[in-house]
């Protein structure tokens, strides 16, 4: 995204959440309008168990052996990492006073970007107005060219063999109810795109055959040659 464009559509699949959010936040502050689709396919480094569960060791003073301590450590694994985040609330009005925790992948990515922008200032609020995030690829972005950010791609930033998980799976585990709906719409969109590509190949093949078999008289051929055809 070195050049400035009217709107940049980014396919979030295979990107690391934090790295993509930092790049998007910088471009938003520079004045670029950005649309991020397929946020449910964003990746988080580390295995799903690590992203979901936070292990808190509680050792009993009576235990002596390392095996007993390790067993107690595993037995007393508490709360889930994201669940611990969801439990944070205000004491004076927990239902209305916030903080408000989002379950949808698009809102998780939006809040990640918001944390990297001075959103309480006029400049930061204007920057967030330039951002749109979606699960799946809704119209009209399904017919627009989508870009990737190499600086945030998992296959380029993580070492081979490193474990990772998706934001969509994490959201589904903590209460996001539309994973099946988005998956079904994505299958429909991919089938529609594959059919369009087949029709496009047939039309291109017919055009190539027509150019090859077309009979052109000498006068027309000379005129076309003069114009570089």
Q: Assign residue 38 a region: left if phi > 0, alpha if psi is -120 to 50, beta otherwise?
A: left
Backbone angles phi, psi at 80, to 5 degrees: -95, 150
Average of per-residue pLDDT across 136-144: 94
Query: Which of 39-53, 116-130, 207-221 has the lowest average pLDDT?
Result: 39-53
In CATH terms, 7-177 corresponds, of 2.40.160.20, 3.40.50.1820, 3.90.1180.10, 3.30.460.80, to 3.90.1180.10
Looking at residue 159, what DSSP letter applies?
A: P
Distance of alpha carbon 162 from alpha carbon 155, whole angstroms: 10
Query: Which residue, 147, 191, 166, is CA-closest to 46?
Result: 166
What is the rounded average pLDDT for all residues in the chain?
Answer: 84
Domain ranges for the chain, please list them.
7-177, 178-229
> What's the chain's Rg over C-alpha atoms?
26
Average of per-residue pLDDT across 13-32: 96
pLDDT digits (tens, 9 = 90+) for 192-208: 999 999 999 999 999 99
Give the pLDDT confidence score for residue 216 in this predicted structure: 78
pLDDT digits (tens, 9 = 90+) for 25-80: 999 999 999 999 999 999 998 877 656 554 333 344 444 454 544 443 433 333 46
CA distances from 137 to 6, 144, 182, 197 (A): 19, 10, 9, 17
Distance of alpha carbon 210 from alpha carbon 170, whole angstroms: 53
| Between 1 and 94, the higher pLDDT residue | 94
């Amino acid at each position: 995204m070195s050049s400035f464009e009217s709107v940049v559509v980014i396919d979030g699949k295979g990107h690391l959440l934090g790295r993509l959010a930092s790049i998007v936040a910088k471009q938003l502050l520079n004045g670029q309008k950005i649309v991020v689709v397929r946020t449910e396919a964003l990746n988080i480094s580390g295995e799903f168990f690590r992203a979901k569960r936070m292990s808190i060791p509680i050792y009993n003073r009576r235990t002596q052996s390392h095996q007993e301590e390790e067993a107690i450590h595993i037995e007393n694994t508490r709360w889930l990492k994201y669940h611990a985040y969801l439990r944070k609330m205000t004491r004076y009005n927990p239902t209305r006073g916030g903080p408000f925790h989002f379950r949808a992948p698009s809102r998780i990515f939006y809040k990640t970007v918001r944390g990297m922008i001075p959103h309480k200032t006029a400049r930061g609020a204007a920057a967030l107005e330039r951002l749109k995030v979606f699960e799946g690829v809704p119209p009209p972005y399904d017919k627009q060219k989508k870009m990737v950010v190499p600086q945030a791609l998992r296959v380029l930033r993580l070492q081979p063999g490193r474990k990772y998980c998706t934001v969509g799976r994490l959201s589904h585990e903590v209460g996001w109810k539309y994973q099946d709906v988005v998956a079904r719409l994505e299958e429909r969109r991919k089938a529609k795109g594959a059919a369009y590509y087949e029709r496009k190949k047939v039309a291109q093949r017919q055009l190539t055959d027509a150019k090859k078999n077309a009979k052109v008289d000498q006068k027309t051929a000379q005129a076309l040659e003069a114009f570089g055809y």
